[in-house]
């Protein structure tokens, strides 16, 4: 474990939020140049050389928790404003038994990744989208939330502090998990009196045990992931435990994951347990519209924009199950899963196979997206942020 020194702490504490009347996005843009300079200084105590890596078997990296050295913590004051956060060695957090997150599930999380380029640089991808989505989720759950600027800055600090845990290009990524939770004590059902924002990181490989092999999905028509008017459109922590039973049942039957239908009519596609879904038919790429029950994924949005740039027709709409069974190709997207091709889908007693392989649409879109994320393809959209 790398030791923190007093110089590091003073530098981290000196990175204070901007308090201007500009919007949060504008404030973040103004901050970029000065943050880059400060973060370059912060990086020095952590690493003796640019080529230093943690002792990890990169060739056999799976998607699991391997805690990186540092986590970031920030708390809100009594007026609901978040104070300056700080980095600290990864470790347990202390919570009251009556914390709102434990009693009423008042919590959100995000997922993003740091990518290593061929020459060792560190890139982050579309952080503004994750920060904006967390703000939207916090509003839905009546939670105080850091500003977009604070969220982006915190992720940057966490990624830089844990740079040696970012795998070499092609071996994996550094998964970064921001969490916002109602940490204050509460007995009656009400918003928490205090909130804690924290971030931890872990190097990861492929999300599914199949690795890069096509997935085998099962269409679930008994359990539902989300309902109209609920919180399915935000990354509430309460959205995920309810899918475990359906996932466990599907995996016991040899499937990779579960594809859910809408809870109202059980005939339109929603999403997979932790990722969005796309269908391909000819030159048309379709994905269920994010109308409140489906999470607006950052990878989903990026794939849509790339597909449009490369001449595909993209439709976001209600997609009936019949269209799924007649598609040429199906694939899933998400921060954790990336772009994952689907080989087969089973609904009741019917099993359908789909096109996969190097010439598939999903593989072409995946190659472009990963190229941008890792610096192989020029980022003309301003999606990536380099940290030095």
Rg (C-alpha) for the chain, rounded Å, is: 21
* Cα gap 372→213, rounded to integer Å: 22
Distance CA 169, CA 55 (A): 16
What one-character-per-residue DSSP string does 32-83 give? HHHHHHHHHHHHGGG-SSTT---S--GGG--SS----SEEEEEEB-TTS-B-
Q: Are 307 and 359 in contact (CB under 8 A)?
A: no
Alpha helices per DSSP H over the chain: 6-13, 24-43, 100-104, 127-140, 148-161, 244-252, 298-309, 321-325, 361-373
Q: Which of 189, 184, 198 is nearest to 97 (CA)?
A: 184
**Pick from 190, 179, 182: nearest CA to 96:** 182
Give the closest residue to 285 by CA, choosing from 339, 345, 338, 232.
339
Which among 113, 156, 163, 235 is annotated as catalytic? 235
Q: Is 245 known to be catalytic? A: no
Catalytically active residues are 235
């Amino acid at each position: 474990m790398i030791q923190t020194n007093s110089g590091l702490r003073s530098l981290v504490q000196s990175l204070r939020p901007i308090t201007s009347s500009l919007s949060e996005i504008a404030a973040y843009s103004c901050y970029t140049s000065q943050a880059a300079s400060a973060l370059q200084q912060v990086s020095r105590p952590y690493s003796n050389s640019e080529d230093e890596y943690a002792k990890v078997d990169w060739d056999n990296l799976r998607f699991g928790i391997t805690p990186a050295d540092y986590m970031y913590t920030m708390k809100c004051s009594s007026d609901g404003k978040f104070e300056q956060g700080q980095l600290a060695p990864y470790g347990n957090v202390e919570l009251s038994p009556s914390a709102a997150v434990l009693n009423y599930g008042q919590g959100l999380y995000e997922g993003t990744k740091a990518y290593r380029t061929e020459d060792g640089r560190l890139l982050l991808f579309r952080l503004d989208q994750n920060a904006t989505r967390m703000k939207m989720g916090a509003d839905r759950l009546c939670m105080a939330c850091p500003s977009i600027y604070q969220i982006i800055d915190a992720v940057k600090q966490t990624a830089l502090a844990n740079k040696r845990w970012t795998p070499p290009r092609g071996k994996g990524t550094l998964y970064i998990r921001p969490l916002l939770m109602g940490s204050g004590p509460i007995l009656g059902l009400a918003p928490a009196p205090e909130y804690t924002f924290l971030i931890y990181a872990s190097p990861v490989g492929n999300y599914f045990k199949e690795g890069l092999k096509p997935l085998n999905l099962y269409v679930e028509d008994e359990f539902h992931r989300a309902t109209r008017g609920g919180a399915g459109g935000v990354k509430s922590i309460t959205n995920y435990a309810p899918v475990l039973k359906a996932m466990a049942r599907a995996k016991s039957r040899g499937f990779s994951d579960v594809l859910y239908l809408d809870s109202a009519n059980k005939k339109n596609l929603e999403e997979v347990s932790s990722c969005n879904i796309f269908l391909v038919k000819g030159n048309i790429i379709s994905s269920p519209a994010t109308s409140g029950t489906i999470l607006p994924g950052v990878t989903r949005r990026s794939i849509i924009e790339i597909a449009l740039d490369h001449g595909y027709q993209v439709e976001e709409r209600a997609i009936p199950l019949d269209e799924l069974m007649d598609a040429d190709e199906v694939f899933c997207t998400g921060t954790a899963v990336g772009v994952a091709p689907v080989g087969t889908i089973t609904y009741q007693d019917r099993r359908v196979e789909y096109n996969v392989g190097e010439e598939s649409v999903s593989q072409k879109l995946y190659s472009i997206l990963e190229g941008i994320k890792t610096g192989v393809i020029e980022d003309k959209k301003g999606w990536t942020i380099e940290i030095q």
